[in-house]
Structure 1
Amino acid sequence: MNKFERIYLDIEQKIKAGDYPIGSMIPSEHELAKNYNVSRETIRKAQKLLLENGFIQKKQGRGSIVLDYHRFSLPISGLVSYKELQVEQNITSITRLITNEQIPVPDFLIGQNGVTADERFIHLVRTREINNEVMIIDEDYIRCSVINHVPMEAAKDSIYEYFENELSLTIGYATKEFVAEKASPLDIELMHLDPMDYIISVSSNVFLEDTTFFQYTVSHHRLEKFQFSEFARRKPRLNN
């Protein structure tokens, strides 16, 4: 890891810990360079990462102000587990495992991403409960040719921790789709919704680093309870 990346992570942690409160100014380039015993160019590289990830905004003639990073409630881009979001945003919730079984490949996956009709998948259904209400239903279909078993404890805790730490898989990327749709029978049963209620469905095809498809996941979110947001920074236009 480069020096500027370590400095970025240290300042990020200090922002999250409240050492640099939201709305305050972080130390100047000169002060940071002295504190970390590095060049100002190294500090500029670290600040660039903070800027790009929505932690600071430069103020002309004043320095860099700390932004409200909490607005990233549920990121649109990026590939993170629910547990990682829970820790990041200090969410107190309970995960309940409803289903963990092997099934024949669902029809809608056959022919997609190289999936064949004779394959089997692990079907997981989990609920995320906050303040005694089910806010999210996560439904996963995991390709048995890649992962043939998910222990109960891993399913209740974090399947990505299990995949990466226990199975040494490298998760690469995902394609996502966001759709507003009427509550399904499962939503009505587990979230206690009405048939005319709407939810936000977030479906993802997830791939390993070597481009192998291994997971289809769909998360159903209560429409009135969750906000999907992302920090976006406009890039400067190139002059022709």
Structure 2
Amino acid sequence: MTNNIYWTLYKDYAEQIDTGILQAGSKLPSENELAATYQITRETVRKGLNLLAQNGYIHKVKGKGSFVLDTGRLNFPVSGLVSYKEMAERLGRRSRTFVYETKCVPAGESIAKELQIRPDQLVWKVIRAREIEGERIILDIDCLLADIVTGLTKEITGDSIFQYLEEELHLKISYAKKIISVERATTMDHDYMDLGNDTHVVVVRGYVHLEDTTLFQYTESRHRLDKFQFVDFARRESNVEHWNK
């Protein structure tokens, strides 16, 4: 239970920032105060604060504390590793998920290449459309190693795969490599998304790894061009030592 409380801390403060309860420049309570409030360790508090920082909500100043940054609620962050369910909550928009496919199949040549496995190795293939404010504007195609991920159902994929992996299978998801490109829309894009006359989509390819570095998930998240701006929050590390060399 304690391991998940940092998500509660993250969501609590992300919501307060998104809704304007906490304004840009506001200072968050200290780590000791947050630890007392949530009845957790300072290490767990730091995990929540680090996630807020990674997603551009706060700036941590050494020796001074954590301060709220000016952030837009419709930004779709490139960095960070969160589920769509968590992202939808952050966007604060009415949303639904349509599950078109959840099945265990041989990977085939193209997916095997992405996951670095044999073509006959089994994977879960999941196809879902995301509807926001009445329009299907995201198509997610996920492929997960079946020897690591077990027991997927349509009910699970309609809710949150990441939540199932972490809370039920106790997998430790660590990091992902992401590649973003603009590509011509496919027949599947037109069938499963409300593209209108659009001819291209933004494609975010993700390669997700466990804590032991195992690549276990390949995903294509295909977005309608006019609905998102993809934002990364960059920090410049001090180069004082470098310049003084």
* 1:148 corresponds to which of 142, 147, 150: 150
Corresponding position of 1:125: 127
In 2, the alpha carbon distance for the partners of 1:98 and 1:10 equals 29
**Identical counterparts, % of pairs:** 34
In 1, the alpha carbon distance for the partners of 2:152 and 2:18 equals 34
For 1:136, the aligned partner's letter is: I
In 2, the alpha carbon distance for the partners of 1:229 and 1:129 equals 21
* 2:137 corresponds to which of 120, 135, 138: 135
Matched pairs, number: 221
Corresponding position of 1:169: 171
Residue 36 of structure 1 deviates from its aligned partner by 4.3
Corresponding position of 1:180: 182
Residue 183 of structure 1 deviates from its aligned partner by 0.5
In 2, the alpha carbon distance for the partners of 1:195 and 1:119 equals 38
Q: Is the 8 A contact 1:136 1:222 kept in 2?
A: yes
In 2, the alpha carbon distance for the partners of 1:188 and 1:146 equals 32
Residue 168 of structure 1 deviates from its aligned partner by 1.1
Residue 106 of structure 1 deviates from its aligned partner by 2.6
* 1:159 corresponds to which of 158, 161, 176: 161
For 1:135, the aligned partner's letter is: I
**TM-score, normalised with respect to structure 2:** 0.74
Cα gap change, 1:11 to 1:138, in 2 (>3 Å): closer
* 1:234 corresponds to which of 233, 236, 241: 236
Cα gap change, 1:237 to 1:53, in 2 (>3 Å): farther
In 1, the alpha carbon distance for the partners of 2:106 and 2:135 equals 32
**TM-score, normalised with respect to structure 1:** 0.76
Map 1:1-240 → 2, pairs under 5 A: 12=13, 15-16=16-17, 21-23=22-24, 25-26=26-27, 36=33, 54-56=56-58, 66-70=68-72, 73-193=75-195, 197-238=199-240, 239=243, 240=245
Structure 1 unaligned regions, length at least 5: none
- Higher mean Cα deviation, 115-124 or 11-20? 11-20
Q: Once the two structures are superposed, what CA deviation does each residue of 1:180-210 show, in whole Å capped at 9, x if it has no partner?
A: 0010111111224367611100011111111
CA RMSD of aligned residues (A): 3.6
Cα gap change, 1:188 to 1:53, in 2 (>3 Å): closer
